Amino acid sequence: MAENRTKSALDTPRAQWRLMSFYERFEQVVAMMLSAIIAVIVVISMLQLIRMVFTLLLIDAFNPLDHAVFQTVFGMIMTLLIAMEFKHSILRVALRKENIIQVKTVILVALLALARKFVILDPEISPAKVAALAVATLALGITYWLLRERDDRSRSADGPDGAA
């Protein structure tokens, strides 16, 4: 039975590959390569994060209330989350669940990057820079909300099952 599931899981991409144009195949290969590169980056970053946390624990310097330690550790964690979300969006394209990278996903990744920036901000940063980051976050948040509202209205107009 597991063999049948494996065959059907492999047959679908092969069948789709035969139907793709040259450019669609090119996009597919690029998406898979990007996904692999980001996966390597995530693994290396995760190993560095683990090494750093263990080093901090072993030398008894791990104090999560220390601003510098907090910034470093959570900055690295946020970087990993951003990379994983980015990889997830590329995988959706590679698996043919979406044709292009969705604008909502790009805005979400940008919001995550701004959240990371707020986590790692130097306490002596100028108020103007904080205000600029806040305005950028607000603008991206409003844009994301508007896109989500548009998608929700579109789905409700299609009916409860998503079909027109």
pTM: 0.67
Look-up of token digits 């707020």 = 118
Q: Report if residue 36 sits inside a domain.
A: yes
Q: Report if residue 4 sits inside a domain.
A: no
Q: Report if residue 28 sits inside a domain.
A: yes
Per-residue pLDDT of 78-104, as tens digits, reads 889 888 888 888 887 777 666 556 788
Q: Report if residue 164 sits inside a domain.
A: no
Q: Report if residue 95 sits inside a domain.
A: yes
d(CA 98, CA 96): 5
Do residues 142 and 107 lie in contact, with contact meaning Cβ atoms separated by under 8 Å?
A: no
Cβ neighbors of 121 (< 8 A, separation 6 or more) are 71, 130, 133
Q: Report if residue 5 sits inside a domain.
A: no
- Tally of domains within the chain: 1
Domain that holds residue 143: 10-158
- CA-nearest of 141, 127, 121 to 74 is 121
SS3 65: coil
Q: Report if residue 16 sits inside a domain.
A: yes
pLDDT over 70, % of the chain: 80
Terminal alpha carbon distance of the chain = 36
